[in-house]
A = this chain, B = another copy of it.
Amino acid sequence: MFFVSLIPIRSGSPLGGEAERSDAARNRELLLKAARELIEECGADGLTMDRLAERAGVGKGTVFRRFGSRAGLMMTLLSDSEAAFQGRFMFGPPPLGPGAAPLDRLVAFGTERIAFVLEFGELARAADSSAYNRFDVPAAVLWHRHIEMLLRAAGVTADPWLMAMSLSSTLDPERLLHAVRVHHVAPERLAESWCELVTRVVSCPGGSSRRTENNSEGGG
């Protein structure tokens, strides 16, 4: 069983967690405070790095040295809730945490994740919007591994890594928010559909050999 570095997410410091100069620490707090205020007032989409710098009374360069990018800032803002979520599905009580059947944990995971995304909607989306490595951010890797691990535990033998990727994509914030906000899908429907999906993926006997022409079982 593998382990990611344990609630990695993202601190405020640039990279190495070494000591932080006092002015840097002070500015980080100023920035986080200003960011929360701005989001309160204008929403996450209304937060621009310029306005944030101005509001916090620091230079723009400082903002980017602290958080690397806009997405990095959003991740930092999410990190508390995110860490709590991670703690719950890794160490918390069943059915989300260890102890329950893998399928039950999968269902619980998706349900909670959907609720999380819908609660912190704009933030979660903004945190994703980094250019390329959206999927290699520590938190995303952790979810992926968690799903993959549960799939294996549930006896899914067919390429659990890719299957976990498919399941993860279903929980993509942008898609979930789009369904809810544009198509007015009720959140419970999302959870039910997730349940349906993972149940089928897990419960079905491995039906791998049906694409090639030999012994197709249910061709129809």
Is A6 in contact with chain B by the CB < 8 A criterion? Answer: no
Main secondary structure of the interface of A (DSSP, over half): helix
Chain B residues, CB < 8 A from A190: 162
- In the complex, what residues of B have CB within 8 A of residue A204's CB? 199-200, 203-204
Taking Cβ atoms with an 8 Å cutoff, the residues of A that contact B are 101-104, 107, 133-136, 154, 158-159, 162-163, 165-166, 169-170, 172, 174-175, 178-179, 182, 185, 189-193, 195-197, 199-201, 203-204, 206-208, 210-211, 218-220
Residues of chain B within 8 A of A174, CB atoms compared: 134
Name the CB-closest residue of B to A133: B182
Kindly list chain B residues whose C-beta atoms are within 8 Å of the C-beta of A218.
Answer: 103, 189, 192, 203
Known A175-B135, A203-B204, A207-B203: A193·B104 in contact at CB below 8 Å: no
Bound complex: CA of A197 vs CA of B195, how far in Å?
15
Give Cα A134 to B172, complex, Å. Answer: 13
Whether B158 and A193, one on each chain, are in contact in the complex, defined by CB atoms closer than 8 angstroms, is: yes
User: Which residues from B are CB-within-8-Å of A195?
Assistant: 208, 210-211
Chain B residue nearest to A175 in the complex (CB): B169
Nearest to A193 among chain B residues (CB) is B162
Q: List 7 A-B contacts (CB under 8 A).
A: A135-B175, A162-B189, A195-B211, A196-B206, A199-B204, A200-B204, A204-B204
- A195–B204 CA distance with the chains assembled, in angstroms: 13
A-B CB proximity, top 7 nearest? A101-B220, A162-B193, A200-B204, A169-B169, A166-B170, A199-B207, A204-B204
Q: Is the CB of A220 within 8 A of B169?
A: no
Residues on B with C-beta less than 8 A from A104 are 219-220
A136–B101 CA distance with the chains assembled, in angstroms = 38
In the bound assembly, the distance between CA atoms of A50 and B191 in angstroms comes to: 45
Distance, CA A170 to CA B175, complexed state (A) = 11
Residues of B within 8 A of A158 (CB): 192-193, 196
C-alpha spacing A154/B219, complex, angstroms: 11
